[in-house]
Structures are given as C-alpha cells and as structure tokens.
Amino acid sequence: MASATPDRLSSYPEANMPADMPADQFAMFPKGRPGRGSAGEMTRPIASIPAALSPDSSLSAAISAFHGHMIRQGFSENTIKAFQADLRLFTRYMAANRAIGSIGQVDLAQFLTWMRADRGVPCSPKTYARRLTTLKVFFAWLAEAGFIPADPAAPLIHERPSTPLPQLLYDEQVNALLSTTRDLLWAARPDARPYLLVSLVLQTGIKKSECMDIKLEHIDLSNPQAPVLYIRYADPRRTRKERKLALGPGFTPVYRQYLREYAPKETLFECTARNLEYVLEDMAKLAEILGGVSFEQLRWTCAVRDYRNGMPADQLRQKLGLSSISWRETLPKIQTLAQPAL
C-alpha cells in the first residue's frame, strides 16, 4: 500500500520525492521554505534570479532558469537531478534552440508517444509518469511566471500505472497466525513479541516504518481497557500522517508481558526491521501459511477487514494515514477485496 504517497492536495508531485517514486501531486511553490525574501537561516546557496524569459526564449535558456527556480524553492537534490535528466531528453527530441512559446500540446503528446513507443529504449510506467510530471511542473512554472501565455502541459493526464491486487491473509490464515503466536505467550520459554507484533499491525494497519518508530511514550495505558497508540513523525512535512489509534483491551496484558521480557528503553521494538521480518517469516512457517507473512499483507488485511466490518471509507483512510490523492487508487482495491466473490 504504497505508501503511498505525499499529502499535498494540489496539482503537482511533491518536490522532495525520490526520483523513482510514483508521481503523486503537490504544491509547486512549497510554503515555509527558507529562501530569497523569507526569514530564516539559509541552509544552501540561493541561486540568483534569472533574467526574465519570453515566448521567444530558447528551450535551453528556460531549462537553465528552471534549474535555479528549483534550487530557490528547495526541491530535493534527487528531484532536481531527475527533472534535469528528463528535460535533457526532452531537449534532444525538441531541439535546444526551440522557442518555448512555440511548443504546444501536440508537441508534448508526440514526445510522450516517442518516449513510450518509438525511442527504442524501455520506459517503465513509473518512469513515464515521472517524466510527464517533469513536463507539467516545468511548463506550469513558465506559464505562472508569465514567460509563456498558456500552459501546454495542463491538458495532459497522468495515467497511473496499474498494479495487481495486493496479497492479504484469509480469515483462516489470520486465525492460525494469531493462535500460533498466542501459544508462545505461555510456552516453556514465553515470548510475547510475535503476538504483540502480529496483533498490533493487524489491528492498526500501520506501516513497517511506523512500527519501527513507535516509542514507549507513544502508547497510552491511562485506561487499560482502552489503550491508545499515537503515530508520530519527526519530519514536519509528514505531520499530516500523525494519528491516534485505538487498541483493544487485550493489548495491555500482552504489552506488559513484553516489557518484562524485553525491557525496551526507548522504542517499542529495539531491533532492526529485518529482525521483525524474520519473526513474521518464522510465525508463518509455524502457522503453515504458504508464501509467508509480511507487514504489507497485515496492513492490507487490516484495511479490508475494517472496511468489511463497516468502517466509513474516510475514517479508514485516516486510520491508514493516507492522503486523499493516494486514497483514490487504494479504496477501489480495498472494495474489490472486501466484496463477495463473483
């Protein structure tokens, strides 16, 4: 469940996304970034503001100016490199001295067709989506800055790459996994970690990274019959993903047993993520679940079970920490998996 993805609800992908991420959408002029004309400590050299462009300016001149714009706006280094590489390919196709005002929607559509079908070099759906994003961000900037009269890339539509339905655990497998891990609570050498891990992710649907970031202070046992988990993010750009999740009363005794056995000092799981993946693999073998068990499977299983049990769609979106944009792709998959067989 991909994680999705950025939480900004506007027209362009987030400026600081990794180059290989799918092109979700973001605000082209991020707010609150240190830079020219704003207070705050400068964290990187600020590129000089270029001379004004015009519709007669060359494509190469516009790309050079756009590079400075990305630096001033605080785009990540990975994004700048990816966008520059995409625009170099566009320049080779279009010609460096082509006037930016003469480039229209037909030119862009022909470039995209050439890149996908006629170039002779494989172009994955993810790469295609990113390059389309580059064109949309570049030409939107030119139009909003008044360098060209209209944005030729605005009508172009993102075709999100189709992905297969995710794997989830069947009800019988869930019962087997919970039974297997529960038995370890009272084994000759008790171990609460497997049951705590499995039941926690199955109940909350949190991601692996969120699971690893849980601190002891994020768990509220003020009411042992209604414990609460707070999902926190250190990165201020991800605070919209923070949420408060309910845990069942059965969590409290297992959690207390786990504290006695493992004595964590700061974080709930003081081990590597890979170590927890090994725990899931071992439990899948004990429960005789073919294909194993992963964090992603548990997350999707949680989502489908909650939806099947009547949780409103927007409440489920918030529980999973997803943006409205990524939810457009996620919800139909949940609905398909939750509905009766045809």
Half-sphere exposure of residue 213: CA atoms within 13 angstroms, side-chain side: 12
Q: Does the pLDDT of residue 21 top 50, yes or no?
A: no
Q: Of 134, 163, 192, at which residue does a domain stop?
A: 163
For residue 23, the domain's CATH number is 1.10.150.130
Residues 194 and 110 grouped into a single domain: no
Tens of pLDDT, residue by residue over 117-136, are 888 888 888 888 899 999 99
Name residue, tokens 């649907």.
205
In a domain, 324, yes or no: yes
Chain centroid, CA 246 distance in Å: 23
- Average pLDDT value for the chain: 86
Which residue has better confidence, 116 or 275? 275
Query: Looking at residue 84, what is its pLDDT?
Result: 95
The pLDDT of residue 237 = 74
User: Are 132 and 97 found together in one domain?
Assistant: yes
Decide if pLDDT at 52 tops 70. yes
Indicate if the pLDDT at residue 324 is higher than 60.
yes
Structurally, how many domains does the chain consist of?
2
Instruction: Give the tens place of pLDDT for each residue, 81-92.
Output: 999 999 999 999
* CA 177 – CA 198 distance, rounded (Å): 8
Residues 130 and 193 both lie in one domain: no
Question: Which of 78-82, 117-121, 260-264 has the highest mean predicted lDDT (pLDDT)?
Answer: 260-264
pLDDT tens digits for 94-108? 999 999 999 999 999
Domain's final residue, options 163, 193, 218? 163
Own/partner pairs, 73-77, CB within 8 angstroms, 24+ separation: 73/15, 73/28, 73/29, 73/30, 73/33, 73/35, 74/15, 74/16, 74/30, 74/33, 74/34, 74/35, 75/15, 75/16, 76/15, 76/16, 76/17, 76/18
Question: Considering only CA atoms, which of 155, 30, 52, 157 is closest in space to residue 100?
Answer: 52
CATH of residue 231's domain is 1.10.443.10
Tell me which residue range forms the domain holding 95. 9-163
CA proximity to 296, closest of 318, 280, 308, 285: 280
pLDDT at 38: 39
- If one counts every other C-beta atom within 10 angstroms of the C-beta of residue 330, the result is 23
Q: Judge if 124 and 269 occupy the same domain.
A: no
Query: Does one domain contain both 214 and 144?
Result: no
Burial class of residue 342, CB neighbours in 10 A (0-12, 13-18, 19+): exposed
Range 143-152 average pLDDT: 95
Whether residue 20 is predicted with pLDDT greater than 50 in this model: the reply is no
Q: If DSSP codes are grouped into helix, strand and coil, which group holds residue 53?
A: coil
Residue 278 domain-assigned (yes or no): yes
Q: What is the mean pLDDT of residues 152-170?
A: 84
- How far is residue 281's CA from residue 211's CA, in Å, rounded to a whole number? 17
Q: Are residues 71 and 25 in the same domain?
A: yes
Token pair in block for residue 339: 């509905």
pLDDT at 116 (0 to 100): 86
Last residue within a domain, chosen from 98, 129, 163:
163
Distance CA 148, CA 85 (A): 22
